[in-house]
Amino acid sequence: MKHKNIFVACDTSNLSKIKKIIKQTQTNKLKIIPKFGLQFFYSKNGRKFLENFKKDFWLDLKINDIPQTASSAIDSLKDLKKCKYITVHVNGGLAMLSSIKKKAKSINKDLKVLGVTILTSLNDKSLKEIGHTKSVKQLVLKQAGLIKKSGCDGIVCSAQEAKMIRQKFKKLLIFTPGIRLPGDSADDQSRVMTPNDAFKNKVSGIVLGRSLIKGNIKSNTQKLIDHLNK
């Protein structure tokens, strides 16, 4: 199972909790990579911690701005040598995506740029409230085309759209949040799936948050291992 891309969402600003999550999700049966989002990165000690982090990590900033500002933001992260993945919002448009990918390639050839599509907390009703006329699946497919055209490396979408994306874009990385272990609450997510079902939909990697870090982390990690072995 070590070849499976598994990410744990380190969604806290508490440094001691971050260290605990990282330590207790480590196992010789799986490689679990930490994903740091806005909450930790914006915290007092977050940026400094990542400067000295010695293992691969995913920085989930969902950058979304005009092309020059967005690419400059990427340039400001060049000291984070172990950052393997960075997220940007597809909403920023093709020019922004292309600009970010070009900058990322110039500062770190191993840095993968992932385009975030429709957040897994949203559904068709939510999109109509925003003003979109397309369904979630239609919009995600359209956005996947922009990601491919821009040269970015992958897409972040729900596992429910993954099979559709994989059929059309064979080589695109597909990473999926909104993953829950069987029996866990969906919480604020609208489009969720279990790890095994997500991998059956040909995803490249999955992100688990509360299913791993809520309660006993070591026990939850073992539940994940047992689930993937079924």
pLDDT recorded at residue 1: 53
pLDDT recorded at residue 160: 86
CATH number of the domain where residue 212 is located = 3.20.20.70
Q: Which residue has the tokens 């990385």?
A: 173
pLDDT recorded at residue 129: 94
pLDDT recorded at residue 60: 97
- Is 62 one of the catalytic residues? yes
Of 131, 130, 183, 124, residue with least CA distance to 158: 124
pLDDT recorded at residue 176: 94
Find out whether 155 and 114 touch, Cβ atoms under 8 Å.
yes
Q: How far is CA 89 from CA 52, 93, 167, in A?
A: 27, 8, 22
> What's the half-sphere exposure (Cβ side, CA atoms, 13 Å) at 165?
33
* Spatial distance between the Cα atoms of 68 and 50, rounded to a whole number of angstroms: 24
**Tens digit of pLDDT at every position of the chain (230 positions):** 556 899 999 999 999 999 999 999 999 999 999 999 999 999 999 999 999 999 999 999 999 999 999 999 999 999 999 999 999 999 999 999 999 999 999 999 999 999 999 887 888 999 899 999 889 899 999 999 999 999 999 999 988 889 999 999 999 999 999 898 987 776 656 567 899 999 999 999 999 999 999 999 999 999 999 999 98
SS3 of 203, please? coil
The tokens of 187 are what?
């919480």
The residue annotated as part of the active site, out of 62, 101, 112, 148, is 62
Query: H-helix or E-strand containing 140?
Result: helix 136-150
> What's the half-sphere exposure (Cβ side, CA atoms, 13 Å) at 27?
21
The tokens of 140 are what?
């995600």
Pairing of strands 205-208, 83-89: unpaired
Q: Both ends of the chain: CA-CA distance in Å?
A: 12
Of 62, 60, 59, 61, residue with least CA distance to 51: 59
Task: Give the contacts of 130 (CB within 8 A, at least 6 positions apart).
Answer: none
Domain count, the chain: 1
List beta partners, residue 33: 7
The tokens of 68 are what?
């020059």
Range of the domain at 124: 5-228
Strands (E), the chain: 5-10, 32-36, 57-63, 83-89, 112-116, 154-156, 173-176, 205-208
